[in-house]
């Protein structure tokens, strides 16, 4: 079946450092790819998405590019802030019967220190 593998962490960075969280996937079809973020005590929020090869999703300074040849969707940010501390989840969806069922990676906890 479909699966997502992401860097498990935890990752600890200083403010203004560069962030990369690796994510690779296995899928039988042609999935859409997502990054979700979870702040403490909250549900998941969509951070960015891409639906076809070479698409770049971006939001709040975060970026990820859908790479079909390497089956990857790595998350990057040029300069992290303390407020970026959260758990980040890579996910894919393969539309089946009209539903976009998500398959998640295990999550990467990011802590940014001042």
Of the residues 28, 70, 98, 114, which one makes contact with another protein according to CB under 8 A:
98
Is residue 88 a contact residue for another protein (CB under 8 A)?
no
Q: Give me the sign of the Cα torsion angle 28, 67, 22, 31.
A: negative
Among 75, 86, 89, 110, binds another protein (CB under 8 A): 89
Could you say which of 49, 77, 86, 88 contacts another protein (CB under 8 A)? 49
20 CB neighbour count, 10 Å cutoff: 11
Q: Which two tokens stand for residue 72?
A: 């990857």
Exactly one of 44, 75, 80, 110 binds another protein (CB under 8 A); that residue is 44
93's tokens: 């969806």
CB closer to another protein, 97 vs 114: 97
How far apart are the C-alpha atoms of 52 and 38, rounded to whole Å? 25
Distance CA 109, CA 38 (A): 9
Residues making contact with another protein (CB under 8 A)? 4, 8, 32, 34, 36, 41-46, 49, 51, 89, 93, 95, 97-107
């Amino acid at each position: 079946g479909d699966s997502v593998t992401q860097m498990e962490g935890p990752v600890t960075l200083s403010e203004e450092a560069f962030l990369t969280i690796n994510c690779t996937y296995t899928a039988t079809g042609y999935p859409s790819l997502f990054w979700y973020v979870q702040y403490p005590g909250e549900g998941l929020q969509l951070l960015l998405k891409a639906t076809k090869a070479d698409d770049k999703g971006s939001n709040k300074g975060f970026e990820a590019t859908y790479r079909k040849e390497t089956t990857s969707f790595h998350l990057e940010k040029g300069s992290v802030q303390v407020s970026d501390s959260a758990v980040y989840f890579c996910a894919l969806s393969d539309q089946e019967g009209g539903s976009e069922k998500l398959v998640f990676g295990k999550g990467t906890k990011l802590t940014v220190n001042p």
